[in-house]
Structure 1
Amino acid sequence: MSRFTSPDFLRQAGTRQEHANPPPAVDLTRPSLARLHSFHLKGKDHFEVDRDLAVAAEQAAPGFQDLVLGERAFLQRAARHLHEDAGIDQFVQFGAGLPAPGDPHEILPRARVVYATDDLMVLAHHRALVREDRAAAVEGGPTRPADLFADPVLRDLIDLDRPVGVLMAGALSHVADVDTPGAHMAALRGLLPAGSHLVFSHYHRPDAAVFPKDANRAEQLQNVFRRHLNSGYWRTREEILGLLDGWEILSPGLLEVQRWRTLPVAPPVPGSYQMPQRNRRLLYGAAARV
């Protein structure tokens, strides 16, 4: 597999679309995290500025694409676990990316899903898709959970008297400390009914005294992301645990996403992608319960 090649089952959707009216304005001078991920998933919705960021990330940490694919596979495994083993049949995904095969509403055919995003281009793409009544998209992000859960579109699809699965893969990696991400996680927890679950992943900064090379890659990647996106924070395991204060973290705990309920590579199904060893320590994840 070449450095920018993705498995077929991860590739971007390109069918069953309608035109957004009117289309949102796109700033071609600044990269977008959603378009960066589209590039790594072999999608079509990215521009030169996004590809420049992909090259810079690759130079800072060879194999950066591993993080994108590994985080998506973790999300797929964890969402399926919540659906099949915990009985969750309604989900809200914070920080939704551009639509792609293997999105939660596709791999969980009996579940309802609301995609939440602050990126208006992503919102337009989701709303333009022809879907049944199991999926919707709303504007919102992890720093405004109360506004999001008051949205009439969300409340029309999600029954807040029953357990909800919250999917937050990477979203808080782009919220600065000054914006109090822990407080927003606490507010989110207070909005959820009993029995609700959380799928959570975050960029991880390894201990420099133990893993100096990994810690240096995390530092270099953070510099690249801050320079290009003005966001992107690689936090220590203790700092990530602090964001989950008050949540009941479920087995196997907070750890490298590749080690979270790993699947065999064959047959290739959503969630079976396995990250190479080189960057596994740079991405941690967990499932938790209210």
Structure 2
Amino acid sequence: MSRFTSPDFLRQAGDNHVRAEPPPLVNLTRADITRLRSFHLKGKDHFEVDREFAARADRIVPGFVDLVLGERAFLQRAVRHLVADLGITQFLQVGAGLPAPGDPHEIVRETTSEGRVVYATSDPVVLTHHLALIRDGRTTTALKAELGRPEGLLEDREVHDFLDLDRPVGLLLTGVVSHTPDAVAASRSIAALRDRLAPGSHMVLSHYCRPDPVRYRKDALRAEQLQELFLGDLGHGHWRTEEEISAFFDGWEAVPPGLLQAQKWRTMPVAPPVYGSYQMPHRNRRLIIGGVGRI
């Protein structure tokens, strides 16, 4: 194990320098999903072990970065739709990653100055980054929580102080359920969150997909190989079938165009380039799907 120390670990955040005491432990012997995403998003928070893992994933699925960028663009389009078209101004992202340009709070601010975004993560490194760089106490905040403990999340004082749970909330679950080993437990957690949210709330969910092996044999094989790599090296990362993924939407009404390839959900023109306009190449589109549900 290795340990970062401030100020090398964190940058200045406005006039304040947030120092984690003690600094979070960072395992440099094993790849980490949040650092892997940072690498694919051209961030700075990754190490050789993460880059080596990314190279192995790319050998299995050339252009693996497509999945990361495609999932993120789907999230950006979905958040923009919820804000601009449906008037939802408060969001809860569970399983937040390291801060990066185009995060949900930036999409919200394109439309309204009244938006509020809570980032929840169980990763102490991610949390420290958010507290240092993103949290302003007025429009954005971050807290330690995880999908597997929904009761603790919604009972958190900061959530109650920051979000009005009597009004619709946008629940953002992109990139988190794929890394939850127990699908039944994940469904229970999502249902528990759903039951506590106000009518008119929406859920944005994306997931790695294992296509039908009869119709898409090569894609199904690549999904199986990626899952083997992820489980072996990270301990999590599941490519589930569309039927398994659709079960996470039980109790939610599907928002058109439904659950489908993430790239096809309200696709935007590539020009002008804005958050959400990235278009996945055809080669990997079947390997990740997403949808939006409402209550």
Would you call these one fold, judging by a TM-score over 0.5? yes
C-alpha distance 15-282 of structure 1, shift in aligned 2 (>3 A): farther
Aligned AA for 1:121? V
C-alpha distance 41-14 of structure 1, shift in aligned 2 (>3 A): farther
Q: Deviations over 1:139-164 (max 9, x none)?
A: 11111111111111121111111110
Q: 1:94 matched to which residue of 2?
A: 94
Q: Deviations over 1:85-134 (max 9, x none)?
A: 11100000011110011111112113100001111100000001164310
Q: Within 5 Å, which residues of 2 pair with 1:82-161? A: 82-109=82-109, 110=112, 111-129=115-133, 131-132=135-136, 133-161=138-166
Rounded to whole Å, the distance in 2 between the matches of 1:179 and 1:200 is 16
C-alpha distance 130-72 of structure 1, shift in aligned 2 (>3 A): closer
Q: 1:209 matched to which residue of 2?
A: 214
Q: Deviations over 1:152-207 (max 9, x none)?
A: 11211111111100011021101113662111111111111111101110000000
Aligned AA for 1:25? L
Rounded to whole Å, the distance in 1 between the matches of 2:183 and 2:271 is 43
Q: Say whether the 8 Å CA contact 2:11–2:133 is kept in structure 1.
A: no
Rounded to whole Å, the distance in 2 between the matches of 1:130 and 1:231 is 27
Of 252, 257, 282 in structure 2, the residue corresponding to residue 277 of structure 1 is 282
Aligned AA for 1:250? V
- Residue range with higher mean Cα deviation, 202-211 or 49-58: 49-58
Give the number of equivalent residue pairs.
278
Q: 2:39 matched to which residue of 1?
A: 39
Q: 2:181 matched to which residue of 1?
A: 176
C-alpha distance 178-112 of structure 1, shift in aligned 2 (>3 A): closer
Aligned AA for 1:38? S
Rounded to whole Å, the distance in 2 between the matches of 1:21 and 1:78 is 33
Where does structure 1 differ by over 6 angstroms across 4 or more consecutive aligned residues? none
Aligned AA for 1:259? K
Q: Percent identity?
A: 57
Describe the SS at the equivalent of 2:279: coil
- Residue range with higher mean Cα deviation, 122-131 or 206-215: 122-131
Q: 1:260 matched to which residue of 2?
A: 265
Rounded to whole Å, the distance in 1 between the matches of 2:226 and 2:174 is 18
Q: Alpha carbon RMSD of aligned pairs, Å? A: 1.5
C-alpha distance 254-179 of structure 1, shift in aligned 2 (>3 A): closer
- Is 2:19 the counterpart of 1:20? yes
Q: Deviations over 1:200-235 (max 9, x none)?
A: 100000000000011011001101100111000001
Q: Say whether the 8 Å CA contact 1:94–1:116 is kept in structure 2.
A: yes
Q: Within 5 Å, which residues of 2 pair with 1:157-168? A: 157-168=162-173
Q: Say whether the 8 Å CA contact 1:146–1:191 is kept in structure 2.
A: no
Rounded to whole Å, the distance in 2 between the matches of 1:138 and 1:218 is 33
TM, length-normalised to structure 2: 0.91
TM, length-normalised to structure 1: 0.93
Aligned AA for 2:75? L
Q: 2:5 matched to which residue of 1?
A: none
Rounded to whole Å, the distance in 2 between the matches of 1:236 and 1:283 is 10
Rounded to whole Å, the distance in 1 between the matches of 2:248 and 2:84 is 26
Q: Say whether the 8 Å CA contact 1:20–1:127 is kept in structure 2.
A: no
Q: Within 5 Å, which residues of 2 pair with 1:225-244? A: 225-244=230-249
Rounded to whole Å, the distance in 2 between the matches of 1:125 and 1:55 is 26
Q: How far is 1:272 from its partner? A: 0.2
